[in-house]
Amino acid sequence: MSKKSFRQAINEALRDEMRRDPRVILMGEDVAGGMGAAGEQDAWGGPLGVTKGLMPEFGRERVLDTPISESAFVGAAVGAAATGLRPVADLMFIDFMGVCFDQILNQAAKLRYMFGGKATVPVVIRTMFGAGFRAASQHSQGLYPVFAHIPGLKVVVPSSPYEAKGLMTQAIRDDDPVIFCEHKAMYDDQEEVPDEPYAIAFGEANVSREGEDVTIVAIGRMVKFANEVADKLEKQGISCTVIDPRTVSPLDQDTIIESVEETGRLVVVDEASPRCGMASDIAAMVAQNAFKALKAPVKMVTPPHTPVPFSPALEDIYVPGPSQIEAAVRAVME
Amino acid sequence: MAGEVTALTMPKWGLAMTEGKVVAWNVEEGAQVAAGQGIVEVETEKITNVCEAPVSGVLRKRVAGAGDTLAVGALMGVIADASVSGNEIERFIQEFRADTAGAAATEGEALRTSSVTVGGRPIRYLKMGEAGEVPVLLIHGLGGDLNNWLFNQPALAQKHTVYALDLPGHGGSTKEVGSGDVGAMTAAVIGFLDALGVERVHLVGHSLGGAIALNAALEHPRRAATVTLISPAGLGTEVNVSYIEGFIQAERRKEMKAVLGRLFANPETVSNEMINNVLKYKRLEGVTAALGTIAAAIFRDNKQALVLRDRLAEVTVPVQVIWGKQDSVIPPSQAVALPAAISVHLLSGAGHMAHLEQPQEVNKLIERLVASA
């Protein structure tokens, strides 16, 4: 056990699973180096260095650089999964889903169902999401609820290095297509991560704080902010439960409902757009199942329903942070 | 000693503790306190416990109030003789704060486990304290780890060198357990002492660790100075196998919370962090298999496979048995009718984890037996 970054944690899970199972392969832009050019071996390790060091160990047979054509290599990954491999494809930015969506929504998500369970598609699509990176509207969105909307996909949004390693291990071992959403501002976050392999089950939320007054459900990078707020408010006499669903599909509804039944107050923090997002989904689910327990209206903390602004000043206001979460908790306590 | 001023500081219970919250003071300012008296309740993310007065004297000042959160090593209160002036107390507080403003934060990080290789495989341990001739060795039970001794190891380390280890299959040690029986575990413990070059120890074992401690004292009599058995296995056949099975099978938070509650007289003792730590341990590759191998080796037909009760008299060093009266995993009735030389202590307000639920009492009993040797 030692301190590891979010980046290292995912790298370790990929390495462990590639050692364990020869069917696991990686594909994506620059995951092995530069496009086959001499002297460009393992130069990048993917856009943010997550796959660095894997090509030298496993070779270009299993770590494949692809052309800049998401529709081609995501489709190839889905086909390879349906015919016996366990590919991990790197979609770089989640915003690029648009160019390869049929492969995901109509092929990967449907095959097992339409073949009566006789086919499986054990593909993992890694992808970066999130604002705060000064990367403008086409490289900053939090589109994971779009995937969560589609039955047949599993959608993971890890909140820390420990979570990322265990959830990636599970994603690779899972027989269904998994969309693995990494927040691009978290790669240098550090915490204690075991050296051994371990898998974290899908559909089971992590309860990082247990309190009596307010339930905060937070996703991805927002979990860290929610824990900070919970720590601060604890000292001021407001005690919060913080729930990280880990996977937005499947969603651990029971843990959320049971907690709201105890606290009677809910704040949902989601970096995705507010309309048809995880916050509205979870708020509706609680309203339907625990309405009688609620002592105050549910509060949603989300960005406004706009594209992510390129102006740094506007982008900083756009992303929810600790102060918005604290204000929401105080509001439901009134 | 007249004129001496002693700081009562936020203790460090367990590897991960960096801060604690003062829940309540049990004594007023100006009251006489005795060394070892529990005077302030402190809550951590893991658990709530009573912090003891380090020396006898008058509690002159409660520096931290109920509800305050302090870093490990920060000043909670001041104990001094009544003859020390109020000004001197104030000066002590100012100087203490100036000296330790930075140090408190680093103390919160300072505890580090180590690892030795035993039979080619890693065994993780935590060493605390440097005093005393014969060290104390703490051996946890099935599914536990060295953190189970968080309230005992720091207290015992004031007068002794204290080792706590992770048995094979547990914590940060190897997940390969061999046959998984008490003999294999005993061999690992003796191998651990050999690797560290430690000749003799005061053995303290809980539950399965109790059976291992007793077996070690029987098989390697020269290695044991005293033996303290807390809710030990190995003294009778009866055991609550449904608890063991529940622990091994529980994968979800809710199930684990219910299972862990059965370990304590007061199930509220189970904190969110305790549950999360056990779940983290159980997720590690090889752990479920290791626990299954151990359980299959130490239980047969829902009973304990190894009973050493008839051999207790062979142990020539002092032995004591400590048992929580509300233990629902191994019945405290197994402490009845032991050889007369063995002292038996049944503790109220404790279940299977007396060392966590009644740490002051357990620490006192261990100190007393160690001192008698």
- Using one digit for the tens of pLDDT, what is the confidence trace for A202-212? 999 999 999 99
- CATH code: domain of residue B76: 2.40.50.100
Is B86 in the same domain as B120?
no
Q: Which residues in chain B are contacts of A168 at CB distance < 8 A? A: none
B window 152-211, beta carbon within 8 A of A? 172, 175
Is B212 in the same domain as B348?
yes
Average confidence score pLDDT of chain A: 95
Q: Which pair of tokens denotes residue B370?
A: 């160690």
Which of A163, A210, A223, A242 to probe the B interface (max B CBs under 10 A)? Answer: A210
Interchain proximity A207–B272, CB inside 8 Å: yes
Which of B92, B107, B122 represents a domain boundary (last residue)?
A: B107
Is B31 in the same domain as B126?
no
Which residue of chain B has the CA closest to A204? B252
A205 Cα to chain B: minimum distance (Å): 9
Cα–Cα distance, A216 to A212 (Å, whole number): 11
Cα–Cα distance, B166 to A81 (Å, whole number): 41
Helix (H, G, I), strand (E, B) or coil at B60: strand
Contact B339, B366 (CB under 8 A): no
- Give tens-digit pLDDT for B109-129: 457 889 999 999 999 999 999
Is B238 in the same domain as B363?
yes
Average confidence score pLDDT of chain B: 91
Interchain proximity A206–B272, CB inside 8 Å: no
Is B222 touching A (CB cutoff 8 A)? no
Cα–Cα distance, B55 to B62 (Å, whole number): 15
Is B85 in the same domain as B130?
no
- Chain centroid to Cα A122, Å, comes to 17
Determine the pLDDT at residue B2.
45
Q: Which residues in chain B are contacts of A20 at CB distance < 8 A? A: none
> Backbone phi, then psi, for B324, in 5-degree steps?
-70, 130
Is B150 in the same domain as B94?
no
Which residue of chain B has the CA closest to A205? B253
Which residue of chain A has the CA closest to B251? A201
Count contacts between A and B (CB, < 8 Å).
38
Is B252 touching A (CB cutoff 8 A)? yes
| Counted domains in chain B | 2
Is B67 in the same domain as B211?
no
Question: What single-letter amino acid sits at B68?
Answer: D
Mean pLDDT of A287-295: 97
Q: Which residues in chain B are contacts of A162 at CB distance < 8 A? A: 280
Domain extent, residue B78, equals 5-107
Is B140 touching A (CB cutoff 8 A)? no
**Where are the domains positioned within chain A?**
2-193, 206-333
B276 Cα to chain A: minimum distance (Å): 8
Global ipTM: 0.91
Rounded to whole angstroms, what are the CA distances from A76 to A28, A71, A151, B192, B315?
11, 8, 21, 52, 69
Interchain proximity B172–A201, CB inside 8 Å: no
Is B120 touching A (CB cutoff 8 A)? no
Is B155 in the same domain as B31?
no
User: Which superfamily does CATH assign the domain made up of A2-193 to?
Assistant: Thiamin diphosphate (ThDP)-binding fold, Pyr/PP domains (3.40.50.970)
Which long-range CB contacts under 8 A does A47-50 form with residues at least 24 apart? A47/A90, A47/A92, A47/A128, A48/A7, A48/A128, A48/A184, A48/A187, A49/A7, A49/A187, A50/A7, A50/A10, A50/A11, A50/A14, A50/A90, A50/A126, A50/A182, A50/A187
Cα–Cα distance, A51 to A63 (Å, whole number): 9
Determine the pLDDT at residue A37.
60
User: Which range is least confidently modeled, A42-51, A96-105, B27-36, B361-370?
Assistant: A42-51
- CATH code: domain of residue B142: 3.40.50.1820
Residue A48 DSSP code:
T
B175 Cα to chain A: minimum distance (Å): 10
Is B67 touching A (CB cutoff 8 A)? yes
pLDDT at A38 over 90: no
Which of B73, B107, B141 represents a domain boundary (last residue)?
A: B107
Is B324 in the same domain as B198?
yes
Is B172 in the same domain as B187?
yes
- Give tens-digit pLDDT for A106-144: 999 999 999 999 999 999 999 999 999 899 999 999 999
Hey, what CATH class is A206-333 in? alpha beta
B284 Cα to chain A: minimum distance (Å): 5
**Dihedral sign (CA B192, B194, B195, B200):** positive
Rounded to whole angstroms, what are the CA distances from B302 to A28, A217, A253, B237, B295?
53, 42, 36, 9, 10
pLDDT at B147 over 80: yes
How far the first Cα of chain A sits from its last, in Å, is 43
Catalytic residues of A, which ones? 139
B246 Cα to chain A: minimum distance (Å): 18
Contact B84, B41 (CB under 8 A): no
Is B60 in the same domain as B134?
no
Is B80 in the same domain as B139?
no
Smallest Cβ distance to B252: which of A166, A198, A204? A204
